[in-house]
Amino acid sequence: MNIIEIIDKKRRGLTHSHEEIATLVRMMESGKAHDYQISAWLMAVCIQGLNMDETTWLTQAFVDSGKKIDLSEAGGVVVDKHSTGGVGDKTTLALIPMLASAGVKVAKLSGRGLGFTGGTIDKLEAIPGFKTSLSGIEFVEQIQKLGMAISSQTADLAPADGKMYALRDVTATVASIPLIAASVISKKIAAGADVIVLDIKYGSGAFMGTLEEAKDLAFTCREVGKRLGKSISTVISAMNQPLGYAIGHSLEVIEIINLLKGQGPQDLEDLCVRLGGVALIGAGRFDSLEDAENTLRAELHDGTALAKFKTLIQAQRGDVAILEDFSLLPQPDRVLMVPSPQSGYIAEIDALEVAKAAKLVGAGRLTKDCPINLGVGVVLRKKVGDAVKEGETLVELHAGDKDHWEALEVLKKAFHFSLEPVTASPLIEEVLIGDVWQKPSVKV
C-alpha cells in the first residue's frame, strides 16, 4: 500500500494494519513520505481516531525508531514520572529526591518548555552551574551511586515521535488522544524505567480540557503500556488554576526548596506525595498508599528530602548555596503588583492566561531555540476560594527589561470573582495503580 492509499484509508475512517502503520513511520523517517502527506494523515487521525491496536503499533514503531536506555545496571527498581504538562507544575524537582530517599532509583529524562508549559530542564538551569546534560554512562553511574539522576532527553530516543510531533505542533494536530498516548508512552518505554507514573492534567492550562478526556487518555496510556509490557500508573489532576503559587524558573526552584523544607503550598505537597506514593506502591516498596504517603510527607518535614536534593545538586555540579540564599538565582528587574478590582472571593484563575503573562515577560519560548529569562514569572498571592478585598494584591509580576504592560493586562483578566464563598474543586480526581513491579525470575 502506498502513502496516498494509507492516508485515504484513514480519511474514510477505516482501520490500519500493523504493516501500514510501520510503513507510514518508516516512510516518514526515510523522507519517502513528504511532510504534507504525514500532516494529512495526522489530520485524518485527529478526526477519525486510532483504535487501541493501531495506537500500540504506532507506539512500538516510535520506540523502534531509536535507541533504548538500558537501566539494568542501575541496581534496583527504577522509577520514572511524567506529567502531560501544566502551569507551575514543578513536581518532578521534588519527587526525584523524595523517591530516592524512600529507597527507589529515579531515572528522569526531561525536556525544555515549549508553548505554555514549563520544562524541568529549564527550571534546573536556574541553579548556577547545574549540569543538565549527562552522557548515558554518567546517567547510569549516578543512579547507581546516588539513586537518582536527571538529564535532558536526547533526540535519539523515539526520534520518529520527535519528527511527527514537530509536524503536529504546526498543523493543529497535537490534540488527539491516541497521538498523545503514542508520543508519551514511546518515550517512556525507550527511557527504560521499570515503573512509570503519569500525571495526566486536565483544565484550562492542560492539553486535556475536560476530566472525561483526561480519563480517556489515562486509559489509553495504561492499555498501550500493558500491551507493550510496561506497567503504567496514572493520576489525574486538575489544572484549572496553576499548581502552587510560583510560575517561572527561579521562582519555581524557590517554591520547591521551600516545599523540601516542609513549608510548601498544600496543593503542591499533596500532589507530590500522591504521585510519589503511587510510584512507591508500583515499585513494590509499600503495600498501602497511606503508609507510602506518610513516609514521603515525613521526609518533607524532617529534612531528609532536602538533604537528598543537596546531594543531587552537588553531583550535577550546581551551587548548593542557593538552598539558603535565593538571591544567587536569576532575578527579575522589577516586581509589579496587580491589585484586586473588587472585594469577594476568587472563583477561578485561568491557568492558561497566567502562563501567557509569564511568557510575555520572557519565561516561555515560541520556538525551541528561543532564549528565555530564568528570573521572571508570576507569583500568585491568592488562589481559588480565597477571600480578597478591593485593592489587595492578587498577583505579582516578576518582569525583566521587556515591556510588561500587556502581561499585566493578561494577568488581570485571569482572575474571576464571586460575591459568595467558593470551594475549590478537588486537585486529584483519579488514581489507578498499574501492576506492581515483579523482580524478574533468575534462570539457573
d(CA 190, CA 196): 12
Q: Is 61 in the site for ligand URA (CB under 6 A)?
A: no
Query: What is the per-residue DSSP string for 56-114?
Result: HHHHHHHHHTS-----TTS-S-EEEEEE---TT--HHHHHHHHHHHTT-EEEEEE---B
Sign of the CA dihedral running 422, 278, 296, 254: negative
Q: Is 60 in the site for ligand URA (CB under 6 A)?
A: no
Q: Which of 38, 184, 236, 397: binder of ligand URA (CB under 6 A)?
A: 184
CB of 163 to ligand URA, least distance (A): 13
Q: Is 106 in the site for ligand URA (CB under 6 A)?
A: no
Q: Which is nearer to ligand URA, 174 or 228 (CB)?
A: 174
Q: Which of 183, 250, 304, 316: binder of ligand URA (CB under 6 A)?
A: 183
One symbol per residue from 141 to 170: x for binding ligand URA (CB under 6 A), - otherwise; what is it? ------------------------x-----
d(CA 443, CA 83): 36
Catalytic residue among 10, 82, 356, 398: 82
Stretch that binds ligand URA, among 179-187, 274-282, 289-297, 401-409 (CB under 6 A): 179-187
Q: Using CB positions, name the residue nearest to ligand URA.
A: 183
* CB distance 88 to 244 below 8 Å: yes
Q: Which is nearer to ligand URA, 114 or 328 (CB)?
A: 114
CB of 207 to ligand URA, least distance (A): 6
Q: Is 180 in the site for ligand URA (CB under 6 A)?
A: yes
Q: Please list every residue from 321 through 360 that binds ligand URA, using CB under 6 A.
A: none
C-alpha distance from residue 18 to each of 25, 53, 55 (Å): 11, 8, 10
d(CA 38, CA 3): 9
Catalytic residue among 80, 89, 161, 350: 161
Q: Which is nearer to ligand URA, 166 or 335 (CB)?
A: 166
Amino acid identity, position 392: E
Q: Which is nearer to ligand URA, 1 or 175 (CB)?
A: 175
* CB distance 284 to 400 below 8 Å: no
Q: Is 359 a catalytic residue?
A: no
Q: Which is nearer to ligand URA, 96 or 180 (CB)?
A: 180
What is the gyration radius of the CA atoms in the chain, in angstroms? 22
One symbol per residue from 270 to 309: x for binding ligand URA (CB under 6 A), - otherwise; what is it? ----------------------------------------
Neighbour tally for 66: CB within 10 Å: 19
Q: Is 227 a catalytic residue?
A: no
Stretch that binds ligand URA, among 21-29, 42-50, 178-186, 337-345 (CB under 6 A): 178-186
Query: What is the per-residue DSSP string for 293-335?
Result: HHHHHHHHHSSHHHHHHHHHHHHTT--GGGGT-GGGS---SEE
Three-point CA angle 122, 127, 132, nearest 5°:
55
364 contact partners, CB below 8 Å, separation of at least 6: 113, 115, 116, 118, 355, 358, 372
Q: Is 112 a catalytic residue?
A: no
Q: Is 84 in the site for ligand URA (CB under 6 A)?
A: yes
Q: Is 82 a catalytic residue?
A: yes
What are the residue numbers of the active site?
A: 82, 161, 168, 183, 187
* Contact residues for ligand URA, defined by CB under 6 A: 84-85, 165, 174, 179-180, 183-184, 207
